[in-house]
């Protein structure tokens, strides 16, 4: 179900402290560096429905689609980690690829969690977009449900009830009924080894901590995109996070749950392009 975006796509490898990360690079080598970091369980192909729009409307950017540690085609995780360490690995990747900082960062769920850490550091990000990325730890009820599924994931992989639970958490019913959208998620689930995905689940979901306290330290221009169908990061939650972040605003995308760029690519692309246009007006650069 993955699509070939362009003949100019390059598949790169970026050594980091959490192993080699797989990076798909699209756009001119000297373009504005723009990182797209995907959600937990899935990989860079969740951006594929949106990226052609960005390539058409903002062709002078260099899009770097990174498979997170332990997921997609990146090297499997071999030990427990943290989101803070994943953020350090992201900086390792940018350094390995000789990407000039600061970069424009777009993170979906897990990618947003990594982005909060990077945005609070000076001169790493030029701008920050968090999509469906709660700033609080997971709720106790969800934690209990994941704890039940975790042994199944480690033993058998993302099949049966695990796969069903992931799809339910990631996609609205309408999106899950679309074979093309559902297929992207299912294909993503087949790529990493089950032990690696179990470690990623432990490290980046179950161990996720509250980052509300760092929001006032984020001076980077930021956009928080919520969906209308994710209970643990509602539109009100996104607005509250934006109110605590000095240069942030929030917006809600309808008809989506967690994988908003996969479910509503046109709406997300429209918000990104408008946001980036505002940055260009501020600093006089594209």
Q: What is the pLDDT along the chain (286 residues), one digit of tens a residue?
A: 334 445 579 999 999 999 999 999 999 999 999 999 999 999 999 999 999 999 999 999 999 999 999 999 999 999 999 999 999 999 999 999 999 879 999 999 999 999 999 999 999 999 999 999 999 998 888 788 788 788 888 887 777 888 899 999 999 999 999 999 999 999 999 999 999 999 999 999 999 999 999 999 999 999 999 999 988 899 999 999 999 999 999 999 999 999 999 999 999 999 999 999 999 656 544 4
The pLDDT, as a whole number, for residue 2 is: 39
* pLDDT tens, residue by residue, 182-222: 999 999 999 999 999 999 999 999 999 999 999 999 999 99
* pLDDT tens, residue by residue, 253-279: 999 999 999 999 999 999 999 999 999
Terminus-to-terminus CA distance in the chain, angstroms? Answer: 32
Distance CA 97, CA 14 (A): 6
**Pairing state of beta strands 10-14 and 61-66?**
unpaired
Distance CA 80, CA 170 (A): 23
Q: Which residues contact 246 (CB under 8 A, 6 or more apart)?
A: 216, 218, 219
Q: What tokens appear for 249 in the block?
A: 């605003």
Domains delineated in the chain: 10-283 (3.40.50.1820)
* Strand runs labelled E in 163-244: 222-227
* Strand runs labelled E in the chain: 10-14, 21-26, 32-37, 61-66, 103-108, 125-131, 222-227, 248-253
The pLDDT, as a whole number, for residue 167 is: 93
How many C-beta neighbours within 10 Å does residue 63 have? 24
């Amino acid at each position: 179900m993955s699509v070939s975006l362009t003949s100019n796509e390059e598949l790169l490898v970026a050594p980091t402290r959490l192993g080699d990360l797989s990076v798909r690079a699209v756009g001119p080598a000297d373009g504005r560096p723009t990182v797209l970091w995907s959600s937990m369980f899935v990989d860079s192909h969740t951006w594929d429905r949106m990226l052609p729009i960005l390539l058409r409307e903002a062709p002078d950017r260099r899009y770097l689609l990174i498979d997170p540690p332990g997921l997609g085609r990146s090297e499997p995780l071999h030990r427990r980690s943290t989101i803070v360490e994943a953020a350090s690995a992201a900086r390792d990747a940018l350094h390995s690829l000789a990407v000039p900082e600061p970069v424009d960062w777009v993170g979906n769920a897990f990618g947003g969690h990594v982005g909060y850490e990077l945005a609070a550091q000076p001169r790493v990000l030029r701008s920050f977009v968090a999509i469906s990325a709660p700033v609080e730890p997971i709720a106790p009820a969800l934690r209990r449900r994941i704890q039940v599924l975790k042994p199944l994931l480690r033993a058998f992989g993302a099949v049966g009830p695990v796969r069903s639970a992931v799809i339910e958490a990631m996609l609205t019913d309408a999106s899950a009924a679309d074979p093309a959208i559902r297929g992207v998620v299912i294909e993503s689930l087949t790529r990493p080894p089950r032990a690696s995905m179990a470690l990623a689940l432990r490290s980046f979901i179950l161990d996720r901590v509250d980052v509300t306290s760092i929001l006032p330290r984020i001076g980077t221009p930021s956009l928080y995109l919520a969906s209308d169908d994710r209970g643990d990061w509602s539109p009100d939650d996104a607005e509250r996070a934006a109110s605590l972040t000095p240069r942030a605003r929030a917006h809600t995308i309808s008809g989506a749950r967690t994988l908003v760029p996969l479910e509503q690519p046109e709406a997300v692309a429209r918000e990104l392009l408008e946001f980036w246009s505002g940055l260009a007006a501020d600093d006089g650069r594209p």
